[in-house]
Amino acid sequence: MFVDIAKIHLKAGNGGNGAVSFHREKYVAAGGPDGGDGGRGGDIIFKVDDNLSTLADFRYKRKYAAENGQNGGATRCTGKSAPDLVIFVPRGTVVKDAETGRIIADVSDDEPYVVAKGGNGGWGNIHFATSTRQVPRFAKNGNPGEELDVVLELKLLADVGIIGFPNVGKSTFISVVSEAKPKIANYHFTTLTPVLGVVRMGEGSSFVMADIPGLIEGAGEGVGLGHEFLRHVERCRMLLHIIDASGSEGRDPIDDFNKINKELEVFSSDLVNRPQIVVANKCDLCEDEDIEKLRNYFEKKGYKFFPIMAAIAEGTKAVIDCVAAELQKLPPIIKYEAEPKPHIDYTVSKKRTFNIRCCDGVYFVEDAPWIVDVMNTVDPNDYESLQYFERVLRSSGIIEALRKAGIQEGDTVNVYDVEFDFVD
């Protein structure tokens, strides 16, 4: 089954924690702190694999997590950084933030794209030694890796998109002019899989053509498989619009053309303005005056018009020659630029926010998740470590806020279920 959209969860690796360690060696007195730093967590990287053509693999595995960095060790040993997790996707996959719709990466070339960054390792206690604090019994925890849900959308990389109603001969045409071998039958419904074909114009000259299925009336609003395949037209530099000149399905070819263009406009106003060439197929089943009527109609509207009989490759070379000439005048295939992350006011985000609440004589410090990381580095049995915690409480304004809230010496302070008596 062709799958061209998937939603997955990514979790980059956490950084390793810094170590609390002291140098111990015979004949070396007061060796001092030598705790090493934690290793970096693994990134999650997306790369192209040209052996893949769908996103089917992501239907069965939806969670991807990179390894965490190792913790630091004694004797200044830095923890080992975790390997990156590489996820392979088909060429042309667009990675979007599931929550905001922001484009993170367009995986269309051979460059690797870092979508989720691993956390940095925490500092060991060697970094916290000062002239007055010579025995730091605390270290810094590693930073968490980025975690997010992303949507993968496969948008085919093709120079030319073949559009038109079902059973007008799109599959026959692409099988005649390119190396593609689609299933061809007298279907009265659309095929279910886009077909890519390379059209070779000679040594060193070729272009990619895609048969885009799923286009019926209402496709632009999601009827049938419309939205699922209209996304594949978005990259195409030009469109080849095939109509059934004979009206063998009981439809009017001009009406068909206008309906398909209406669906393109509903889906994207940019698509309907993409250069189009009109190809009238099944001309062997209609009269010459009917073909001339169609020619006059489309050429008056400014479209190049070609009558063909795709089943016997009659007239197809003229179409391909025209397409190749037009492509020389057009810009390259659309590549979606990554959108920057929303601006963050770091003067606010880095501020250590908190709330003070008094209940039954106990003062609760709340809404301060940043302080949990600090508490994890504190050894309650070590005097210098407690002094460090007190300095954090003072520098962040918590002590002053407790005073303003009316706290008295000896009252109980609760910081995330850790209680102690207030001493001014």
Q: List, for the chain, all residue ranges whose pLDDT scores fall below the cut of 70.
A: 1-3, 182-193, 214-229, 343-351
Q: Are residues 171 and 310 in the same domain?
A: yes
CATH number at residue 187: 3.40.50.300
* Sheet with 85-89, edge to edge strand ranges: 85-89, 44-48, 113-116
> What are the distances in angstroms from CA 309 to CA 176, 181, 183, 323, 410?
11, 18, 18, 17, 95
Q: Which amino acid is at 368?
A: A
- Predicted pLDDT at 329: 92
- Predicted pLDDT at 71: 96
**Domain total for the chain?**
3
CATH number at residue 386: 3.30.300.350
CATH number at residue 72: 2.70.210.12
Q: Decide if 334 is inside a domain.
A: no
- Predicted pLDDT at 347: 47
Q: Are residues 145 and 20 in the same domain?
A: yes
Coil vs helix vs strand at 421: strand
Q: Decide if 131 is inside a domain.
A: yes
Q: Are residues 150 and 165 in the same domain?
A: no
Q: Is the pTM of this model over 0.75?
A: no
Distance between CA 285 and CA 288 in Å, rounded? 10
- Predicted pLDDT at 229: 62
Q: Decide if 335 is inside a domain.
A: no
Distance between CA 419 and CA 382 in Å, rounded? 17
- Predicted pLDDT at 189: 47
Q: Are residues 167 and 312 in the same domain?
A: yes
- Give the single-character DSSP code of 285: G
- Predicted pLDDT at 351: 64
Q: Are residues 164 and 148 in the same domain?
A: no
Give the end of a domain, one of 294, 327, 360.
327
Q: Are residues 5 and 106 in the same domain?
A: yes
CB 235 within 8 A of CB 106: no
Nearest to 216 by CA among 193, 196, 195, 188: 188
Q: Are residues 45 and 192 in the same domain?
A: no
- Predicted pLDDT at 186: 55
pLDDT tens profile 330-355: 988 888 888 887 755 544 445 678 99
Q: Decide if 337 is inside a domain.
A: no
CB 15 within 8 A of CB 119: yes
Q: Are residues 102 and 10 in the same domain?
A: yes
Q: Which amino acid is at 172?
A: T
- Predicted pLDDT at 216: 55
Residue range of the domain that includes 374 = 347-421
